[in-house]
Homo-oligomer: A and B are copies of this chain.
Amino acid sequence: MKKIVLLLFCMLTALCVQAETVSSPNGNVIVNFQLNEKGIATYAVSYKGKEVIKPSTMGLSLDKVNFTNGLKLIKSNTSTFDETWEPVWGEVKHIRNHYNELVVTLEHIADGYQLDVRFRVYNDGIGFRYEPRSGNANFPLTYHTVMKEHTEFQLTDNHTAFWIPGAYDSNEFAYQTTKLTDIHALKCDKSAIGTNHIVGDKTIQTPVMLKSDDGLYINIFEAALIDYPAMLLDVETHNGYSLTSHLVPGTTNAVAYMQEPSSTPWRTIIVSDKATDILASKMILNLNEPCAIENTDFIKPQKYIGIWWEMHVPNHSSWDYASISGIRLKEMNWEKVKPHGRHGATTENTKRYIDFAAKHGFDAVLIEGWNVGWEEWSGLWKEDVFDFVTPYPDFDLDVVSQYAQEKGVKLIMHHETSGSATNYERRMSDAIALMKKYGYDAVKTGYVGRIIPRGEHHDGQWMVQHYQRVIEKMAQNNIMLNAHEPVRPTGLHRTYPNLLACEAARGNEFNAWSVGNQPEHETILPFTRLMGGPMDYTPGIFQQKMDHYQAGNPCQVHTTLTKQLALYVTMYSPLQMAADLPENYERFIDAFQFIKDVAVDWDDTRILEAEPGDYITIARKEKNSDTWFVGAITDENRRTATIDLSFLDNGMYKATIYKDGRDAHWKENPQSYQIEQKMVKRTNTLKIKLAAGGGCAIKLEKL
């Protein structure tokens, strides 16, 4: 009898197809939500009348309920939101957050559990997320586990994709540019990183950048990744062209443990017929929550140098102090250990960097390798690698912090965890106490190596929670954060602007000791990894070729010197390193002037030209100033950057132009450059020749 009633109930409520539609404020982006006769939910997206996402299934499987079919539509709500907010730091002074929202409430007919799907439709794309609720179920959903997410992105054609292979522990791969059908993740190079196990041949990382043959640019990613695993995408091209959510697992058969009220991160699709719009989009930021830090005075965009590149280049210094093994932190007497003599983070060397920073106006000096444990820091899956408070005998914290203070330079703390997050968490309070004692207000964290708790992954839920705990604990202590090897950022810096930058991609360092980053690399990063937030890419390498340090060494930075300057503008970050050695800057002191001058916080940004994998030209207006900076970069092909100066105010500007020499070439002659000054005004258009792998950097001062 019960079954018959249930059947009747289903027939009455679910047998008809139900649909809802919501459009962007300007009407260009339209989302169609539909629930079919089986109670399966789908959505579809169009842009200016063109199909972007074909009807694609949505759903979430929890331990208690399968929100994949047998759903009925309980209600739907639409609303409009429009506000303009001011970021603590950013590319522009004000950000408009303007969207139309559709919330459909679905009920799992058999159980009564409910699922809200919340869509936000912007002029530049859409975000949606799942919000499971107890609804009318007999048992509350209060604590539940997510077994699988079923989000599809059915694409319309065999688009060109800019992608990296899917992995659970690393994003440090070279980008591939292929048709969807030609994705073979297992063929990708895994140079030099131990934790980059590739998940499968048809699994890729987000964000993925897509370009259709008919001129659409589509970026698929996620926003506000908190308390949930990161999303990879499984590619299927046998029957259409679909991408399906693939969540990073933990140590059990579930992917996430949730507490009601709970929601997934936003699944995002940014779309435009202009590549420049993708780079200008603020949708990811807008989908994050407003700033959660009450007093943000301690947060300061900044430029820094550091004892760091000298550990990457051949034949130079090292993080470690001695050639020993079998360290047990509790039992060590470091004063009795014989140093090998190549240790980089010595008191004297640190003073030298502090002097250089003070002389050239840098805000801070990062010192890596200051603390004991580096002799066995990597690859051992060891838990107690570092204690974060004990300096090597040749690094005098009292002396260097006093010296830095006298010179008006800040020191940046370094906490390499070696992936041992449990160890870091239990020692973090002591580590922060040390920072407070010595006046550090910023920390670079690192997660090189397999994660402890063993079996967890860098990008799984537990570690996402860990990074969040670190962000919040640092914020509570007025400390700025730069995380290396974390999960890729998803716009969380709106909520926690003390998170100045992350790595979570293949940085400049790869050029020092691997096949490196091909010249196109920096033209793709802004369309992919940087969609989620600033990257500590560490630009500014003037000595490109490693044979300078070691005869015959084939490694090199795959850009001209001038392109390194342009990166300070094209790779947005409020935290920029001048990564090369002080002595290299002394050799090219005129070019170095641009790094000294370039701003790190902005009132305005104009994406002048852009094509993923090919070129990017961006102009930015310095915060509280009339000065503009322009960066233009190209891939392995020469090109002429066209810089329409109409963004300038009326009046004359002095342009200082750092451009590639006539004979410059990233491989053959990277250090050929010219510096030119001329007067320009808003009606001018500059045409600047970029060498192969080259770039151009311009400072525009209002007279």
Contacts and interface: CB of A to CB of B under 8 A. Distances in A.
Interface of A: 140, 142-143, 250-252, 257, 259-261, 325-326, 328, 376, 380-383, 422, 425-426, 428-430, 453-456, 462, 465, 469
A382 B250 CA distance: 15
A143 B250 contact: no
Contact of A251 (B325, B328, B455): B455
Given A425-B425, A429-B429, A454 B259 contact: no
Nearest to A257: B381
A259 B453 contact: no
A465 B452 CA distance: 13
A653 to B, nearest CB: 50
Given A261-B326, A422-B453, 14 more contacts: A142-B376, A143-B381, A143-B382, A251-B251, A251-B454, A251-B455, A251-B456, A252-B454, A257-B381, A259-B326, A259-B382, A260-B326, A453-B454, A453-B456
B455 A252 contact: yes
Contacts of A376: 142-143
A405 B454 CA distance: 45
A249 to B, nearest CB: 11
Contacts of A261: 326
B454 A380 contact: no
A383 B259 CA distance: 11
A380 B381 CA distance: 29
B259 A328 contact: yes
A289 to B, nearest CB: 14
A426 B473 CA distance: 11
Contacts of A465: 383
Contacts of A430: 429
Contacts of A252: 454-455
A381 B469 CA distance: 19
A460 to B, nearest CB: 10
Of the candidates A140, A143, A453, A465, the one having the most CB atoms from chain B within 10 angstroms of its own CB is A453
Nearest to A473: B426
B251 A453 contact: yes
Nearest to A424: B426
The 7 closest A-B pairs by CB, nearest first: A453-B453, A251-B455, A251-B251, A143-B380, A425-B426, A142-B325, A142-B326
Nearest to A254: B454
A261 B326 CA distance: 8
A387 to B, nearest CB: 13
Nearest to A422: B422
Contacts of A381: 143, 257
A455 to B, nearest CB: 3
A471 to B, nearest CB: 14
A260 B259 CA distance: 42
Contacts of A259: 326, 328, 382
Nearest to A472: B330
25 contacts: A140-B325, A142-B326, A143-B380, A143-B381, A250-B454, A250-B455, A251-B251, A251-B454, A251-B455, A252-B454, A257-B381, A257-B382, A259-B328, A260-B326, A261-B326, A422-B422, A422-B453, A425-B425, A426-B428, A426-B469, A429-B429, A453-B453, A453-B456, A454-B462, A455-B455
A428 to B, nearest CB: 7
A577 to B, nearest CB: 30
A285 to B, nearest CB: 24
A207 to B, nearest CB: 28
Contacts of A429: 429-430
Contacts of A425: 422, 425-426
A257 B454 CA distance: 10
Contacts of A328: 259
Contacts of A428: 426
Of the listed residues A251, A380, A426, the one surrounded by the most CB atoms of chain B closer than 10 A to its CB is A426
Contacts of A453: 251, 422, 453-456, 462
Contacts of A456: 251, 453
A456 B455 CA distance: 10
A469 B140 CA distance: 37
A382 B260 CA distance: 12
A329 to B, nearest CB: 11
A665 to B, nearest CB: 44
Nearest to A380: B143
Nearest to A328: B259
A249 B316 CA distance: 43
A462 B251 CA distance: 14
Nearest to A250: B454
A491 to B, nearest CB: 21
Nearest to A428: B426
Nearest to A426: B425
A254 to B, nearest CB: 9
A469 B423 CA distance: 11
Most buried by B among A259, A328, A456, A462: A259
Contacts of A469: 426
A429 B429 CA distance: 8
A411 to B, nearest CB: 25
A380 B259 CA distance: 10
A430 B260 CA distance: 28
A167 to B, nearest CB: 18
A430 B429 CA distance: 9
A273 B425 CA distance: 51
A80 B462 CA distance: 51
A680 to B, nearest CB: 53
Nearest to A381: B257
A260 B326 CA distance: 7
Nearest to A430: B429
A466 to B, nearest CB: 9
A45 B426 CA distance: 45
A65 B124 CA distance: 58
A140 B325 CA distance: 10
